[in-house]
Amino acid sequence: MRLLLVHGRAQEGKSSGIITQEWMTALRRGFKELGVVEPPNLKIDAPFYGDKLAELVKKRNLPQADDVATRGGAADDGYAQFLEEVATQVSSDGTVTHREIEDEMGPRPQPRGPENWEWVQSIIRIIDRHTPGVSEFSIGQLLRDVFVYVNDGPVRKAINKIVADQLTDEPTVVVAHSLGTVVGYEVLRNHAGNSVPRLVTVGSPLGIRAIRDRLATPLVMPAGVGDWYNAFDDRDVVALYPLDADNFGIKPPIENYPFVKNHTDNRHGIDGYLDDLKVAAHIAKALG
């Protein structure tokens, strides 16, 4: 049995070895508390694309979502449309309230809706303020990097290849975090010969429609994947939506676990996901 770890954004300057050490330290804390013995001779791989992603995003020269000055201009039209779609979703479903938007935009009269760029930016700033503690991470940073990945064919191809090159026909439990859940889904969907008894995603943004709708359709359970377990902390601003029938409807359905209490400052850190006992138990069971 193999364990494949698919990391997210903001990992530049690290390495496969560092990712493995960080993730397994957290997961082993969960194993220890559960009284689980890690399978002997478990092969662990962590394809590392952090430096390549940072390089490719830098070449696109897009600002973070909350730094875009006007519609278009510094942000190309596709990027502006993407951000508007995110803002529209989180305002229409009550994730961000109208009162919060009005307070953020201030007393001066101005249009409330995606035709007003200040409205879009206000919503993004509000989402970030829902993040407790102090962190260098922001939803604006994630949205920029995800946009580059899902919209730029050469970027997606380069990142996918790094991950796909470490897939074999050997039974492999895949654990993915944040942007890595988007990458992992894309790679598994397009890779022949998967033997993945369980796909585990944590802190996933796949339920955001603007991301989901830019993936290949129809959405399907990747061939060769036995089941999909998705865990999130409902305070995590990246995992805004469960991967349920409304947001990521596939068959068989994804099992969602919304009760993680992520102890990291931003509620999104990998440590606070992998040492969660339910998450650790699901990974342990899949590893046998």
Question: Which domains occur in the chain, in start order?
Answer: 2-56+152-287 (3.40.50.1820), 63-147 (no CATH)
pLDDT band at 74 (very low <50, low <70, confident <90, very high): very low
**Choice among 64-73, 120-129, 204-213 with the minimum mean pLDDT:** 64-73
- In angstroms, the CA 271 to CA 279 distance is 11
pLDDT at 271: 96
Q: What 3-state DSSP class applies to 272?
A: helix
- Cβ-count burial 185-212 (b if 16+ within 10 Å, e if not): bbbbbebeebebbbbbbbbbbbbbbbbb
Contact 66, 121 (CB under 8 A): yes
- In angstroms, the CA 281 to CA 61 distance is 41
Q: Which stretches within the chain are classed as H helix?
A: 16-34, 50-60, 77-92, 98-105, 117-129, 139-151, 153-164, 179-190, 209-212, 245-248, 271-274, 277-287
- In angstroms, the CA 81 to CA 210 distance is 9
Contact 229, 198 (CB under 8 A): yes
The whole-model pTM stands at 0.91
β-sheet bridge partners, residue 231: 202, 257
Mean pLDDT taken over the chain:
89
pLDDT at 146 over 50: yes
pLDDT at 97: 82
pLDDT at 161: 98
Q: Can the peptide bond before residue 197 be classed as cis, meaning omega within 30 degrees of 0?
A: no
pLDDT at 132: 53
Phi, psi of 126 (to 5 degrees): -65, -45
Contact 175, 225 (CB under 8 A): no
Number of CB atoms found within 10 A of residue 55's CB: 12
